[in-house]
Amino acid sequence: MTELGEAVVTDDEDLEGLYGLTEDLVRETLAAIGAQDRVRLRTLTEPLHAADMADLFQALSARNRVLLGNYLGEDLEPEVFVHLDEAVREDLIEELDPDALARVVTGLDVDDAVELIEELEEADQQELLDNVPPVDRALYEEALGYPEDSAGRLMRREYAAVPSVWDVGQTIDYMRDDPDVPDAFYGFFVVGPDYKPLGVVMTSRLLRAQRAVPVTDIIEPELRLIPATMDQEDVAFLFRQYGLVEAPVVDEDGRIIGVITVDDVVDVIHEEHEEDLLKLSGVGVDDLYEAVVDTLKSRLSWLCLNLLTAILASVVIGFFQAEIEKVVALAVLMPIVASMGGNAGTQTLTVSVRALAMKELTPSNALRIIGKEVLVGGINGMVFAVLMGAVAYFWFSDLLIGLVIGVAMIVNLLIAGLAGILIPLRSTGPEATRLSDRASF
Amino acid sequence: MTELGEAVVTDDEDLEGLYGLTEDLVRETLAAIGAQDRVRLRTLTEPLHAADMADLFQALSARNRVLLGNYLGEDLEPEVFVHLDEAVREDLIEELDPDALARVVTGLDVDDAVELIEELEEADQQELLDNVPPVDRALYEEALGYPEDSAGRLMRREYAAVPSVWDVGQTIDYMRDDPDVPDAFYGFFVVGPDYKPLGVVMTSRLLRAQRAVPVTDIIEPELRLIPATMDQEDVAFLFRQYGLVEAPVVDEDGRIIGVITVDDVVDVIHEEHEEDLLKLSGVGVDDLYEAVVDTLKSRLSWLCLNLLTAILASVVIGFFQAEIEKVVALAVLMPIVASMGGNAGTQTLTVSVRALAMKELTPSNALRIIGKEVLVGGINGMVFAVLMGAVAYFWFSDLLIGLVIGVAMIVNLLIAGLAGILIPLRSTGPEATRLSDRASF
């Protein structure tokens, strides 16, 4: 599949030739699981990329996943675990005995290994750490010392660096011959005598420069030092904002301790966006693969909250039972106003949540944008007031009903717009807090 | 700001030192605009990265944006336009005379230039193309020949490639000395005699290999050829799935014509996610910066649709006016059931939209996931049936009301769950269509 010359060009509308997992493969895998045919399973899955293999697991039912995992045994690449969604990964890891788990973890890069370890329960973590070689254990414990979702957990520990006093020739000779230099890197760092990074050099520039040129002359203009404790969301922001390809991670003294590359950041950007969706609907990220009971739990809490607010609204309606009994048209028209307010509020909420995540909603433009939402809400309210007022008037041949619904629509859409922007601004997310702190400027 | 050694390490909670745009800078810029102080404006904005400069524009009101653009004139880097949101970019481009626009466009890479050109009206496009040198014009017209949002528009035209018969030594000598090789690249391609790419080589591997080794021996295992007509969303999927850093773009005969790198893909991933949000709430991507009238237009259409469905629901309620007059409790409790159904439906919708975008919802697991949603909806329905039934019973001291509300809740949450997964599955998005085509397997 990944061998030289085997790649094929496929039609635009069709990823089949480029994406390793096909419907046929899923069906054949299912058949082989049913027939308990281990040899066939190995032949089928051997050419798969780890990411496609993970997708294959996710296309199966929970029972078949465990069977496939068991049948493959040690033939299952550790890399596959990195690509699995959290819920599925947990299921498969539960099936592994301590030795098998240690084999999987030590087969991974430190950053990926730590991602697996941090999901384990306290006791399982300890058991695993006791089960791996001391060298690995030290690396994992060091990485686990950084806060969850921080640059220190995300970074790779292998990087190439040269002193700033070298020229291009010295650097090329060192890179070609020294066994300590990693085989694969996009660029390398130029560091001062205290290991503080002074810049990044793209390897191609090194190749293209004259041997006598000082290495500091071919440094990329963009240097952003990432503190090891920085939240990965901020790391992703910096990479996106400045189009970074790689950035050095530094300790509190500013010394280089690792590197983050843009392909690590792609995953973080995804997690971030999923959090945005979560904020908008109360649905967990791994929802698709979670067991029914876990999905129920995560969704119930959100729905319970919604139930409370809905009951609150109904209590208010309850105060006007006598009026509704007299003018039943109100009961008929009321849900329209409520539904419009709900949708207008969600629209504003979507815009604000996204703008906060992109750091586009700032103290200097918050007031202007709140003003805009009020204006949009007000105008929308008037448009729908006229529309619904007319509908109500002709439906129930009652001018007063038309007026009441019209006014209700304006008030409702105005408040929906304001709530949609003010609530996320005042919510407790890290950016939001920072923002509202600074909003006092 | 970007000069050697000036980078500073800041506190975790604070991006201020790493992110170029500060509240102070916005305020000082506003003051300088007010004072019409061009010199001061240039001093303030000169050290800014193009992306930060774009953020500065976006933090200003529409009027001040235009003023700042005018005051800076030719000092405004073309790159800034690439980083602006579409709505803001349009506003600023409208202010430019044809010569200034031609200067901006020709100052950009072809892929970025085409992004600007494709947003212009037909007549303005023609005027611009007449205004640029013929060499550039030919490049732009060729790029515009590819479908919108395709790999052909996204790719860069500068790449390094060597024939597959060379060894490492020949390649190094060529890379070092030939003026045709671009200065900056992460890796280069090994091509057959017909210019068909056989593989990618990371530049660091070239540096680390012995001179006599054939260049085909140090090829990366991962080779995915991107057809020039492939949709950028599929490109982003391949990069994410296989952790690609760069991939060759090929024409219909499989010959290499360009390269896409992961940093280009980061922007595509963003656009994709914004489309997801859009699908969930009917809000446009550039909403935050759009003029009030544009925001109104884009939100009104969605709200109008919602108005129609809400009126439809009310018409149904209208059939039961006589019943409501008799049992006014129904009018009080009805909105609770409707609201719960709406929220449960949105939860399922969020999960399905995301799963479709990630290609995680496939024909082989669609039935299983639909089954799960039915189960979750049914159980949620029963839980809330009991809860709301009890509330209704105690509130109105009427067992029948409790039963009616309970049954309504079960039916409502079941249907909400089903609709939330079936509607996106059957919708007309490209993935969805492909999926439902294949669902007949």
| CB–CB contact B362 A391 (8 Å) | no
Q: How many CB atoms lie within 10 A of CB B323?
A: 13
Residue of A362 and B265 predicted with greater confidence? B265
Does pLDDT of A10 surpass 50?
Answer: no
What are A41-74's pLDDT values in tens digits? 999 999 899 999 998 998 888 889 999 999 998 8
List chain B domain ranges.
Answer: 23-152, 161-271, 320-438
Give me the helix-helix angle, A62-72 and A50-59, nearest 10°: 140
Distance between CA atoms of residues B171 and B190, nearest Å: 10
Q: How many CB atoms lie within 10 A of CB A91?
A: 18
| CB–CB contact B183 A205 (8 Å) | yes
Interface of A with B in 64-103 (CB under 8 A): 85
Q: What percent of chain B has pLDDT over 90?
A: 37
A40 token code pair: 């066939």
Average pLDDT of chain A, as a whole number: 84
The CATH superfamily label for domain A23-151 reads MgtE N-terminal domain-like (1.25.60.10)
Residues with Cβ within 8 Å of B314's Cβ and at least 6 positions away in sequence, in order, are: A332, A333, A335, A336
| CA atoms lying within 13 Å on the CB side of residue A432 | 13
- C-alpha torsion angle, residues B234, B236, B240, B241 (rounded to 10): 10
Q: pLDDT band for position B433 (50/70/90)?
A: very low
Best mutation target among B23, B61, B351, B425 (most A Cβ atoms within 10 Å) is B351
| CB–CB contact A23 B221 (8 Å) | no
What are A373-426's pLDDT values in tens digits? 888 888 888 999 999 999 999 998 989 999 999 999 999 999 998 888 888 777
pLDDT at B374: 85
pLDDT at B330: 87
A341 token code pair: 């307010």
| CB–CB contact A242 B51 (8 Å) | yes
**CA angle (B149 as vertex; B147, B155 as ends), nearest 5:** 90
pLDDT at B284: 63
Distance between CA atoms of residues A427 and B41, nearest Å: 35
Average pLDDT of chain B, as a whole number: 84
CB A364 within 8 Å of CB B26: yes
Does pLDDT of B434 surpass 60?
Answer: no
Q: pLDDT band for position B286 (50/70/90)?
A: low
| Alpha-carbon gap: A163 to the closest alpha carbon of chain B (Å) | 14
Does pLDDT of B276 surpass 80?
Answer: no
What are B408-423's pLDDT values in tens digits? 999 999 999 888 888 8
What are B78-102's pLDDT values in tens digits? 999 999 988 889 889 988 888 899 9
**CA angle (A255 as vertex; A251, A259 as ends), nearest 5:** 75
Query: Could you report the predicted ipTM of this complex, rounded to two decimals?
Result: 0.80
Q: Average pLDDT in the B172-187 region?
A: 86
Q: How many CB atoms lie within 10 A of CB A369?
A: 21
How is B309-351 classified by DSSP, letter by letter? HHHHHHHHHHHTHHHHHH-THHHHHHHHHHHHHHHHHHHHHHH
Query: For residue A175, which residues of chain B lie inside 8 Å, CB to CB?
Result: 204, 207-208
Residue of A23 and B402 predicted with greater confidence? B402
Residue of A439 and B294 predicted with greater confidence? B294
Q: pLDDT band for position B117 (50/70/90)?
A: very high
Please tell me the class of the B161-271 domain: alpha beta
What are B223-240's pLDDT values in tens digits? 899 999 999 988 998 998
Return the CATH number of the domain spanning residue range A161-261.
3.10.580.10
Q: Average pLDDT in the A345-351 region?
A: 84
Nearest chain B residue to A323 by CA distance is B328
- The architecture of the domain spanning B23-152 is Alpha Horseshoe (1.25)
Does pLDDT of A1 surpass 50?
Answer: no
- Grouping H, G, I as helix, E, B as strand and the rest as coil, residue B226 is strand
Pure H helices in A209-328: 232-242, 262-281, 292-319, 321-326
CB B358 within 8 Å of CB A19: no
CB B305 within 8 Å of CB B312: no
- The number of angstroms, rounded, from the C-alpha of A131 to the middle of its chain's C-alpha atoms is 31
pLDDT at B248: 95
B78 token code pair: 């073309």
pLDDT at A190: 95
Query: For residue A339, which residues of chain B lie inside 8 Å, CB to CB?
Result: 306, 309-310, 313, 338, 342
| CB–CB contact A266 B262 (8 Å) | yes
pLDDT at A201: 92
Least confident of A20-34, A136-150, A353-367: A353-367
Q: Average pLDDT in the A295-319 region?
A: 85
| CB–CB contact A338 B335 (8 Å) | yes
pLDDT at A12: 36
Q: Average pLDDT in the A23-39 region?
A: 91
DSSP B2: -
- Grouping H, G, I as helix, E, B as strand and the rest as coil, residue A395 is helix
